[in-house]
Structure 1
Amino acid sequence: MRISHTALSLGALAAAIVFTPAIASAQEAPAATDTPPLTQDERIARLEQELDTLKRQRELDQEIATSTATKTPVATLDKKGLTFTSADGKYAFALNAQVNVDIHSFSNDGGALRDEVVDRLIRPTFTGKAGNASFRFTPELGGSSSAAASIVDAYVEYKFSDAVQFRGGKFKSPLGLERLQSDADVIWTERGHSTNLVPNRDVGYQVFGTLFDNAVEYQVGLFNGAADGVNLNNDLDNQKDVVYRVFAQPFLNSSVVFLQGFGIGYAGSDGKHLGNATDTQLGSYKTPGQQTFFKYGTGVYSNGKETRSNPQAWFYVNNFGVLADYVTVKQDVASASATAELENKALDVSASWVITGENVNYKGGVKPAKDFSLKNGTWGAFELTARYGYTEIDPDTFTGGFASASSAAQKATSTGFGIGWYWSENLKLLADYDSTEFDGGAAAGADRRKEAFTSGRIQFRY
């Protein structure tokens, strides 16, 4: 190595300076030469010059090494994915992925519903940053059919500070606490009833940030205005939705450890949508088994103001957690013969208990203390889950002729239980059972047959 060689050369020269007088005195007679021998002072001066040259060479070597280090990007491959980062940290590009392979089974359905194994979700995610600017792009390649391929997230951001950040593109509007939770962190194979009444994805602009050492977060944005449950790509009218959310963790930075994991908030939206018989701009509602139990009748469409209200809360302490999400939607609708303002409601309350003792959180998922390993006799982490939820349709929907009680249920109520087995931070297995009962939805307005949905999942996150 050049630096080590330089250091040795410096030492040798220094030794030569020390021993030069002794060597000179030991010589009995100088050899015959055409030039007179160098004096001791001249030799010392020459050696000092060579030392200066070597020192400068060493400085140049160090400058080159430092310059190379500042230009060489750092590649990191670990359990969080593949990341390339510039040496100064200002630029980065990352590749992550999530794959969910599910199994669905229905009992008590008389053979009417399909049991299947499906690539429920296949999502590579590309992210990057350049200084304070960043982007995210996530396509969806999974689903029950090839037609499910779509763009999930595609947006850019700019961070002015923790308190003021900007986002524009396609992403989740800030509605629905369970909807806002990352797909990789949701503790069920399918989300609950509260997600029926909020958009899946919307397109727009949003200002957001955190305050008071992350104890308060806020979002406010202007969006095209996706219908309930819809993954919107293009606007369908000239109207827009204003969407807002404030969520506080009042004890996050306090000494009251038991309450540090308590959070409470409120979100809402206000907009106006004018649909028609072709583009109704109205959503349909599903059970946890992803079976549609309610949709509006033919020729019914949105006809004016739509307002959502969404109180929400969570509480996490050590290995126990609860999430509560309540949504109401007031919407003007119309048909060829009538108009009305209808109010639909949905609730989801979900609880989890990690029986192996690891912490549970809204973000990040369960991280096993020890990964599953037959060789080492370790079993990962186990989580028990339970939930209750419902979606309730305004009775005026049926009396006003906007839906038929013979084909659409007025209410769906679900209870569910499940278990999660976390082999590592990257791989988990889920097994869930949800039972859903209905008010109406069958011939002559009778109650629709009870739905018993059993599901399993292998999830890889990276």
Structure 2
Amino acid sequence: MNFNKKLAVAVSGAVLLMAGQFALADSATDIVDALVSKGVLTEEEGKLITKGHTSKTSVTPVVKEKDGAFTLESANGRNSVSLTGRMHLDARWNDAYVDGSGSDRDTASFSDQFELRRARMGVKGIFAKDFKYEVVASLPGTASVDVAYLDWAKLDAFQLRMGKFKQPFGLEQLTSSNNIGMMERSYVDQTVPAKKLGFQIMGSPRAGLTYALSTFQNNDTELGMDDGGKASGAARATINFAEIMGDKESIMHVGLSGLDSTYAVRPSSSSQTDVTSATATRATVSSFRTSGRGLSNAFRGQVGGTPCVSADYNCASEYTATVQNTAYGLEGIFASGPFKLVGEYSAADYKGKSQSSNISYDTKTYYVEAGWFITGEKYASSYKNGVFSSFKPNNAFDLDKGNWGAIEALFRAEGFDVDDVSMSGTGQRVQGSLSQASSNASTSGAKTYTGGFRWILNPNVVFKGNYAYTKFDHAFAPIDVQGATASVKDEKLLMFRTQFMF
């Protein structure tokens, strides 16, 4: 080996040593390749020099950062893991007035309060290229599993999911709480199955089309997937005509959902005194809370429990009531540039049955929401696979540069209605904003109007503010408050949120 070649080998080796195992891998290899191309080194000599170096770098994990989130990815890109989290801290003021003595947890919801609405941590990622996973736990109080699922996601048109996940019903529910415009979802969301244990088939056969079909159980306990006598199922399909036509500035989305669910609920004995009867054993079939997490049990339907035949036999813990719930939902989005109009409608039927009583009724829920990004962001840029994903400001908040992030103005009108009430037996009842107190002729309902703003400083920090006015269809007497009268006719809520996520 001549002097020049020896010098080249020495220089190349020194560069590789100084490069270390990570930072200068590409540039060091480029130097050796250049020496080979100029004939200073042979290909065999070049491979010999880089052999040890490339063998190490080929298995070195890569750390990637995007929008404040970090991902550790294998060198071959087949495996990855990311840490995820969110924190939503709310402040809420309610001016509703309760006429009556005493209070319970329903009327306590009128209180002004701070609330740690959500605090979650988790991991998500990919392994073996074709499998995706996510596991998230809720942190306040006793930690619980929020979602935990595994996807086989090799094909866009056909994928499988198993675990605990959001069931395919409704646009709002399937849009992350990090990405909804208002602080809280609408009345429609209070009638959906939400996060359950199950199995799902899903996919996007082509751009602009999505579908999902699942079977699930309503309880995380040992009652079983068919604890009410048959398995539960949900389905959703969407089409975005704008995406099909290649229009990247607009959204023209239509979706249809269906639900058929049968499940068990355990009656329990109330510790509170009913204004019309003694303490009884009951199970709640369904209920509504006013928009913005205001008044609890603005409506509640309950089925009676099984009477005890022995004073020392706990019937409530041994017998369950069965709830049958069917529903369908319609949804639509029209968005052009920084403007959007979104709406959903859902109709549901509830039937509760125990050994001692029966109750059934129908519910209808709906909302229409308008939004405008004052700073010019386009809604279509955050629409993906039939839902809204995260919004990224055109210019992230930076006082030094005079940037304020993205600012959105919002307005929503929504409501719920309950009718066709039918009851028989012992212990069943309906409560809340009623036309007639707990009778087969009862109807219930409320309408809420909310104005608000969303200030997205960057992909990780968001501030929200909402003012909601709710008008009850019928004057409301707080539930289980001794001496309360039908004096609550409306509710006004002022609320703010600080939101952090990654």
Contact preservation (8 Å) 1:335, 1:402: no
- Is 1:8 aligned with 2:13? no
Counterpart of 1:225 in structure 2 is 218
8 Å CA contact retained: 1:273, 1:281: no
Could you give the per-residue CA deviations for residues 37-74 of structure 1, whole angstroms, max 9, x where no partner exists? Answer: xxxxxxxxxxxxxx999763431222333322220110
Deviation at 1:10, TM superposition (A): 9.8
Per the alignment, residue 105 of structure 1 pairs with 93
Taking a change above 3 Å as real, the CA distance of residues 235 and 349 of structure 1, as seen in their structure-2 partners, is farther
Change (3 A) 1:116 1:343: same
Does 2:73 match 1:96? no
Does structure 1 retain, via aligned residues, the 8 Å contact 2:344–2:366?
yes
Summarize the alignment of residues 136-285 of structure 1 with structure 2, pairs less than 5 Å apart: 136-142=134-140, 146=141, 149-212=143-206, 214-225=207-218, 235=223, 237=227, 239-256=230-247, 260-275=250-265, 277-278=267-268, 280=283, 282-285=285-288
Query: What whole-Å deviation, never above 9, does each CA across 1:324-349 have from its counterpart, x for those lacking one?
Result: 11111112223666535421111122
Among candidates 36, 55, 69, match of residue 57 of structure 2: 69
Higher alpha-carbon Rg: 1
CA separation of 1:276 and 1:368: change in aligned 2, threshold 3 A: closer
Residue 442 of structure 1 corresponds to 477
SS across alignment from 2:378: coil
Residue aligned with 1:191, SS: coil
- Matching of residues 371-410 of structure 1 within 5 Å: 371-396=396-421, 402-404=429-431, 405=434, 410=444
CA distance in 1 between partners of 2:406 and 2:333 (Å): 22
Which deviations, in whole Å up to 9, do the C-alpha atoms of 1:183-226 show, x marking residues without a partner?
A: 110111111111111123111000111111x2111101110136
8 Å Cα contact 2:419/2:443 also seen in 1: no
Contact 1:349 1:387 in 2 (8 A): yes
266, 286, 289: which is aligned to 1:286? 289
What is the CA–CA distance in structure 2 between the aligned matches of 1:90 and 1:316, rounded to whole Å?
36
Q: Which residue of structure 2 lines up, in the alignment, with residue 17 of structure 1?
A: none
Q: 1:274 to 1:58 in 2, by over 3 A?
A: closer
Secondary structure in 1 aligned to 2:399?
Answer: coil
One of 456, 465, 472 as aligned partner of 1:422: 456
| Structure 1 residues 67 and 410: CA distance shift in structure 2, 3 A | same
**Aligned equivalents of 2:288, 2:156: Cα separation in 1:** 37
**Residues 159, 201 of structure 2: 8 Å contact kept:** yes
Letter of the 2:193 counterpart: P
C-alpha distance in structure 1 between counterparts of 2:246 and 2:41, whole Å: 62
CA distance in 2 between partners of 1:367 and 1:101 (Å): 21
Structure 2: which amino acid aligns with 1:101?
A: L
Cα separation, partners in 2 of 1:54 and 1:221, compared to 1, 3 Å: same
Aligned to 1:41: none
Instruction: Answer whether contact 1:223 1:241 (CA < 8 A) is retained.
Output: yes
Shift in Å at residue 130 of structure 1? 1.1
2:126 corresponds in structure 1 to 129
Match of 2:346 in 1: 327
Percent identity reads 24
Task: Summarize the alignment of residues 27-106 of structure 1 with structure 2, pairs less than 5 Å apart.
Answer: 56-106=44-94
**Is 1:120 paired with 2:113?**
no
Output one character per residue of 1:234-273: Cα deviation in whole Å (capped at 9) or x when no partner: 6462532121111111230314566x41111111111333
Determine if contact 2:417/2:444 at 8 Å carries over to the other structure.
yes
SS of aligned partner of 2:237? strand
What are the superposed Cα offsets for residues 428-457 of structure 1, whole Å, 9 maximum, x if unpaired?
Answer: 110101111112332798463311111101
The structure whose RCO (Cα within 8 Å, separation 6+) is larger is 2
Q: How many residues align structurally?
A: 409
SS for the counterpart of 2:58 is helix
Q: Is the 8 A contact 2:216 2:231 kept in 1?
A: yes
For structure 1, the 5+ residue unaligned runs are: 12-50, 227-231
SS of equivalent to 1:353: strand
SS at match of 2:400: coil
- The residue identity in structure 2 corresponding to 1:366 is F
TM-score, length-scaled by structure 2: 0.74
Letter in 1 for 2:477: A
- Secondary structure in 2 matching 1:433: strand
CA displacement 1:272-298 (0-9 Å, x = unmatched): 335453484723221123221122246
User: Measured at CA, do residues 274 and 9 of structure 1 come closer, stay the same or move farther in structure 2, by a change above 3 Å?
Assistant: closer
Partners of 2:6 and 2:97 in 1: CA distance? 83
Cα distance change on mapping 1:9 and 1:159 into 2, 3 Å: closer
Q: Is the 8 A contact 1:225 1:235 kept in 2?
A: no
Residue 295, structure 1, aligned to residue 300, structure 2: yes
Residue number in structure 1 paired with 2:27? none
What root-mean-square deviation, in Å, do the aligned CA atoms of Structure 1 and Structure 2 show? 3.0
Find the partner of 1:411 among 431, 441, 445.
Answer: 445
The CA deviation string for residues 157-186 of structure 1, in whole angstroms up to 9 with x for no partner, is 112411111111111101121011011101
